[in-house]
Chain A
Amino acid sequence: MNVDWELVADILGAICFAAGALLAFFAAIGVLRFPDIFARMHAATKPQVLGLFLVLVGIALILRQGTATWVLLLVAVGQMLTAPVAAHMIGRASYRTGLVPKSEFVVDELTRDIDLAEAELEEHQRPAGTD
């Protein structure tokens, strides 16, 4: 039995690439149609990690070159390090600026903590202001 491994790698790469492109497409539908910003972030962060990894694995399987694989690994590691930070920053800014529908939350501990911190800050600043 003689297996053509290059053809197998091509087919696997094509499947991975098609899955990544399909994931980007579905995420774009979600970003376009979801109502509030957390739901849009939930949809948009899927192709940022999983879809991008599928695309990069597909490229690496089809190209089969050493340097290309290392560059793709660099892209994957960079995206893995930076995507959570960017998502955290966008989520924090959207919460702080009041873009989030807080009436729909089941548990909301951050609002109480922010109120406590502001109350403590006022308590701390009042003697200096009145004196």
Chain B
Amino acid sequence: MNGWIVLGCSIFLFAAAIMALIRIIVGPKTLDRMIGVDLLITTLVGAIGLEAVYHRHATTLPVLVVLTLVGFVGSVVVARFASYEQKTTPPRPPTAKLAAARPELFKPQVRKSAAPDLEQKSDEEEQS
């Protein structure tokens, strides 16, 4: 691969990594930072591949597999943790407003749930 093309690609990847880092630093919430981390991992895959292409060896290619899988696990775990972290804080008002506007949505639906039947069965078993 030509040296000028490698130089251009590395400049683009470097700028992308810098902008992703700025988003990781600035990002107002944890999820914005996780988007920045995903983009940074994609850029890193490109950079490692660029090095492999420039020197024409396949030694560092398994690093790409590890990098994508670790990025997936990290973003899923952090998204899960962030949704638990902030779930208790904001109470949401629109339920009463929606109930006043469209009361037919909030009629108690007659739905046979499985839980009482199980409780009755267990009580009968205990009695017998």
Residues of A within 8 A of B (CB): 10, 13-14, 17-18, 20-22, 24-25, 27-29, 31-32, 37, 40-41, 44, 47-48, 51-52, 55-56, 58-59, 62-63, 65, 67-68, 71-72, 74-75, 78-79, 82-83, 85-86, 89-90, 92-94, 96-99, 111-112, 115-116, 118-120, 123-124
15 contacts between A and B (CB under 8 A): A14-B1, A17-B5, A18-B9, A24-B39, A27-B16, A37-B31, A37-B32, A41-B35, A56-B49, A58-B49, A68-B61, A78-B69, A85-B72, A89-B76, A97-B86
Contact residue among B49, B68, B71, B79 (Cβ-Cβ distance under 8 Å from A90): B79
B58 contacts partner chain A, Cβ-Cβ < 8 Å? yes
| Assembly CA distance A31 to B95 (angstroms) | 33
Q: In angstroms, how far is the closest chain A Cβ from the Cβ of B64?
A: 5
Q: B residues within 8 A CB of A116?
A: 105-106
Contact residue among B1, B20, B98 (Cβ-Cβ distance under 8 Å from A31): B20
Q: B residues within 8 A CB of A118?
A: 95
| Assembly CA distance A78 to B73 (angstroms) | 12
For the side of the interface on B, what is the size category? 35 or more
Cβ–Cβ contact A82 & B19, under 8 A: no
Known contacts A32-B22, A59-B49, A97-B87; A24/B12 CB under 8 A: yes
Contact residue among B1, B79, B98 (Cβ-Cβ distance under 8 Å from A10): B1
Q: A residues within 8 A CB of B52?
A: 59, 63
Cβ–Cβ contact B35 & A99, under 8 A: no
Q: B residues within 8 A CB of A63?
A: 52-53, 56, 58
Cβ–Cβ contact B42 & A97, under 8 A: no
**Smallest CB-CB A-B distances: 9 pairs:** A28-B16, A82-B72, A93-B83, A28-B19, A68-B58, A89-B79, A21-B9, A25-B12, A21-B12
Known contacts A31-B36, A93-B31; A75/B56 CB under 8 A: no
Cβ–Cβ contact B16 & A25, under 8 A: yes
